[in-house]
């Protein structure tokens, strides 16, 4: 009986060691790495330029709506009912066009961001894979503050290793760094639509 127990322990030892190796976990702050990529400045400028074009077009549409709405307000008291109804429908159509354009523009901007970001994300994922293979990690998770409630002091944060793999550990020139910080601001399209108040 004793021999069987010893034999079992000897056989179980390598399995236990393998299990420990297979459960090596790490995490990386993907957003932090992405923000540090040199391509980020070009991506942000492209998105900013597209946003400005969209904002300009929306401004024209809003000006058209405002002018026609003011004209309607000034003349509606003396308008025949048929013309009044036509003008009201026209104002509603313009508002609908603005709303549709806003939705389409937002979708286009998001698609453009995904298109530009895809190669950069692929490069980061490749670096993460190489770091994980070198460190023999079974899993490397994306670090999200809203998901990770607790992080142990000895947790395996491989963010610095991924940055080093991508060559991001080298200090950037001050001018380039300031430009990168400025370009890191997220693109946003904010449009104020004049509503037809009856």
Neighbours of 184 (CB within 10 A): 12
Q: What is the pLDDT of residues 112-153, one digit of tens each?
A: 999 999 999 999 999 999 999 999 999 999 998 888 888 888
195 pLDDT more than 60: no
3 pLDDT more than 50: no
54 pLDDT more than 70: yes
185 pLDDT more than 50: no
For residue 180, what pLDDT is reported? 46
Distance CA 121, CA 107 (A): 20
- Helices 39-75 and 81-135, axial angle in degrees (round to 10): 170
* Nearby residues of 42 by Cβ (< 8 Å), 6 or more positions away: 116
**What average pLDDT does the segment 43-58 reach?**
96
**What average pLDDT does the segment 13-19 reach?**
49
The domain of 60 spans: 2-183
**Residue 92 belongs to some domain of the structure:** yes
* Nearby residues of 141 by Cβ (< 8 Å), 6 or more positions away: 25, 26, 27, 28
Confidence bin at 73 (pLDDT 50/70/90): very high
**What average pLDDT does the segment 37-41 reach?**
95
Name which of 81-85, 93-97, 129-133, 177-181 the model is least confident about: 177-181
**Residue 115 belongs to some domain of the structure:** yes
| Cβ-count burial 133-166 (b if 16+ within 10 Å, e if not) | eeeebeebeebeeeeeeeeeeeeeebbebbbebb
**Residue 188 belongs to some domain of the structure:** no
Mean pLDDT rounded to a whole number for the chain: 82
pTM of the model: 0.66
**Residue 189 belongs to some domain of the structure:** no
Can you name the residues that pair with 92 across neighbouring β-strands?
none
18 pLDDT more than 70: no
How many domains are there within the chain?
1
**Residue 191 belongs to some domain of the structure:** no
Q: Is 23 exposed, middle or buried (0-12, 13-18, 19+ CB in 10 A)?
A: exposed
**Residue 85 belongs to some domain of the structure:** yes
**What average pLDDT does the segment 28-40 reach?**
95
**Residue 197 belongs to some domain of the structure:** no
186 pLDDT more than 50: no
**Residue 95 belongs to some domain of the structure:** yes
161 pLDDT more than 80: yes
């Amino acid at each position: 009986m004793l021999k069987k127990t010893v034999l079992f322990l000897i056989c179980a030892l390598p399995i236990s060691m393998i299990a420990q190796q297979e459960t090596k976990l790490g995490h990386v702050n993907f957003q932090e790495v992405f923000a540090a990529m040199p391509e980020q400045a070009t991506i942000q400028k492209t998105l900013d330029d597209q946003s400005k074009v969209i904002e300009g077009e929306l401004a024209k549409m809003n000006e058209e709506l405002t002018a026609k709405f003011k004209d309607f307000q000034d003349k509606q008291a003396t308008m025949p009912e048929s013309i009044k109804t036509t003008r009201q429908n026209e104002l509603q159509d313009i508002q609908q066009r603005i709303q549709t354009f806003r939705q389409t523009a937002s979708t286009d901007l998001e698609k453009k961001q995904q298109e530009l970001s895809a190669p950069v994300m692929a490069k980061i994922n490749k670096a993460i894979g190489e770091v994980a293979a070198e460190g023999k990690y079974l899993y490397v998770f994306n670090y999200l503050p809203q998901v990770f409630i607790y992080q142990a002091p000895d947790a395996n944060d491989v963010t610095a290793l991924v940055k080093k793999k991508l060559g991001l550990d080298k200090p950037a020139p001050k001018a380039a760094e300031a430009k990168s910080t400025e370009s890191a601001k997220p693109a946003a399209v904010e449009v104020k639509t004049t509503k037809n108040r009856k």
